[in-house]
Every structure is written in C-alpha cells, then in structure tokens.
A = this chain, B = another copy of it.
Amino acid sequence: MSLAADSADKPTLYKRIRADIEKRILTGEWPPGHRIPFEHELVARYGCSRMTVNKALSELAQADLIERRRRAGSFVRRPQHQSAVLKIADIRAEITALGRGYGYELISRKLRAATAVDRERLGVRKAGKVIAISCRHSADNVPFAVEDRLIDLSSVPSAATADFSREPPGSWLLHHVPWTEAEHTISAIVADDRTAEALDIAIGAPCLVIDRYTWRSARTITAVRLLYPGDSHRLVARFKGG
C-alpha cells in the first residue's frame, strides 16, 4: 500500500519515486488511463519538496510512460505507437559481434555525375557528383550480404578520397558522418541470377531486402540497398512500451 520504500537506498529520492511509479505501471497495477497520485500527494507521501516529485514525473512523461494534463493530473499512457527498436548495426560490427570472421570485398566503385536515376534514388534535384559502390560482406567466408550504395558527394565531400577497397562504406560513413536520420524499408524478393551468384544461393531462393535512405538536416547523404539470404539472416528487434 505504501509507496515509500523504507529500506536504505543508494539511489536518490527522485529516482526512487520514478522507479516506484514505473514499477506499478509495468506490472499492470496501474493500467493505462489510471490517474497517478497528484504531485502534492506524492510530496506528502515522500516528505520532499514539489520540485523533487516534479522531476520524477517529468522524466516519466519524457519517456512517454505517463501523460500530464493541467488541472486534471497525470495518467498512465495507453500503448499508443506500437513501435520497435530495430537494431541494424553496421554489418562489420554485426558479424564481428557474432564472433565470426568478417570478410569484405569491393566489387565496384564509380565516381560519376549524378544521373537522373541517381538523383531520384537520393531524392535530390540538383545535379552533382556521386559515388556508386557495390560490395559484398561475408561471415566465415560465406556470403552474408551484398550492398549497393550511392553516396552524395556534395553532402560528404571527404568520401571522394576514402579508401573503400579496404573499409566498407557503411563503417566509414558511420564514423565520419555524425547524427543522421534514416528511413528503412524492408521487403522480400526472390533471387535473380546475379543476386543468386553473389550470395551463393539458388535462383528463386528468398532474399530479405533492406533499403536505407540516410540524411542529415534535410540533406541526403546516402542510399543503400542490402540483400540478405532470407532463410539464414534474421533481423531481431526488441521493443518495449506498447
């Protein structure tokens, strides 16, 4: 019944208040829509100032666990946006993390003025230079994914001199272009003859396709298409809060 935990704690008071409330929400004791105690009630219960309680509630609100409404109170939020955190690591890091030997092979690299197709793929209007890269990643010498990438040189001029024969472009970009936004589109296809050969699978075998479009501050950086053998590779996403 009592909110306050009397045990001697290391965590600070506002963190304890936040954890207490979070626990009640996560266990379902306070279901979506439930009104949590008013600030002044929590102040009385924990014997602290309003700012301390306010900090705890503000953080819960920032984490979308509760919703605060003036005059009405604070309420447990309904699982609103069913979303998942999809971990799409840099492929080299991903393979290394699995404890497998990473292999990289540059198939082609072309620096050219952007064609109409390039511009459409990057979603830009102005003509400029681009780098088109095709490469293959492998794990323990087994093909893992083939990559087909376009980099907008006007956004990332330094890419022109990067050595993509040794370092995969995804890894290079990750370390040279900070704070990007991206959009992923996931779909499935069956392997055509070229894809089948590159991935060493049968023609007609299923492939998982990830199209990623990356930008920073409304500025296109790169567009990439990744093809994985569909039956071997798995994307794992964990989500919380829905």
Contact = CB atoms under 8 A, between A and B. Distances in A.
Contacts of A39: none
Most buried by B among A233, A238, A242: A242
A236 B183 contact: yes
Contact of A83 (B86, B189, B233): B86
Most buried by B among A89, A187, A235, A237: A237
Nearest to A240: B181
Contacts of A189: 188, 206, 230-231
A179 B28 contact: yes
A25 to B, nearest CB: 6
Given A237-B86, A238-B183, A78 B188 contact: no
A234 interface: yes
B82 A25 contact: no
Q: Which 6 A-B residue pairings sit nearest by Cβ, starting from the closest?
A: A188-B230, A188-B188, A86-B86, A184-B237, A188-B206, A186-B235
A208 interface: yes
B83 A87 contact: yes
B25 A184 contact: no
B84 A86 contact: yes
A181 B26 CA distance: 10
A233 B230 CA distance: 16
Interface in A178-205: 178-190, 204-205
Contacts of A88: 82-84, 239
Contacts of A62: 59, 62-63
